Amino acid sequence: MPRHDLQKVIKIGDELFRTRGYYNTGTEEILEQSGLPRSSFYYHFKNKEGFAVRVIEHYGRDSVQFYKAILWNPQVASPKARFQLFFANLMEVTQVKEFKSQCLVQKMSGECAANNELIRTAADEELRKLVAVFAHCIREGQEKGEFRSDQTADDLAKFLHAQLYGAHTMVRLARDTEVMKKTMDMALDYISI
């Protein structure tokens, strides 16, 4: 590993936390798979909890870029069409990954939010950023007359993202993307005029 490649270590942590979970991933496993010396791990991350926060932050930055690339794309004039593209893209990724893909924010909040305040706070902060990307697109749709304006863009974004998380959980259980398609179509109908 060239001079402690922290990005590589964080990517390994992302994969381990998503597949095994926070509590089922040990520091030894992280060190073994990354090749990072123990002293460097504790110097850069302080402990496993601090490492998890950095992994969540990294995942959040990447996810915000992914969300924006589709939902803020000016080449697609209709905000509603952008959401349809976004959901179709997620369904395709889910199928390609054989229904094993999972949002790290969703995974860590489900596993740790009730008993780890530091991780709960980090996951909440990243979720707020993702919802803000939705809200920006919804606000634009309200201005263009595509989305209802009797509720705030922020509230509609929270609703839509909650539907996405629920649909994604059901897709993994049913191993059928039709569940997500129907759920997200209904959710988009709800926020549309």
For 125-139, how does the pLDDT look when each residue is reduced to its tens digit (9 = 90+)? 999 999 999 999 999
Mean pLDDT value across residues 35-58: 97
Q: Give the up-direction half-sphere exposure of residue 4: CA atoms within 13 A in the CB hemisphere.
A: 10
- Backbone phi and psi for residue 147, each to the nearest 5 degrees, phi listed first: -115, 150
Mean pLDDT value across residues 157-179: 95
Q: What is the structure's pLDDT at 101?
A: 78
161, pLDDT greater than 80: yes
Tell me the pTM.
0.94
1, pLDDT greater than 50: no
Q: DSSP secondary-structure letter at 47? A: S
In order of their start, the domains of the chain are 59-191 (1.10.357.10)
Mean pLDDT value across residues 34-39: 95
The pairs formed by 27-35 with CB atoms below 8 angstroms and a separation of 24 or more are 27/51, 34/1, 34/8, 34/9, 35/1
Task: State both tokens at 8.
Answer: 């590589």
Nearest Cα to 133, choosing from 58, 78, 83? Answer: 83
| Contact assessment for residue 184 and residue 153, using Cβ atoms and an 8 Å cutoff | no
Task: State both tokens at 56.
Answer: 């969540």
Mean pLDDT value across residues 142-170: 97
Provide the CA 186 distance to its chain's centre, in angstroms: 21
| Contact assessment for residue 105 and residue 62, using Cβ atoms and an 8 Å cutoff | no
pLDDT band with cut points at 50, 70 and 90 for residue 3? low
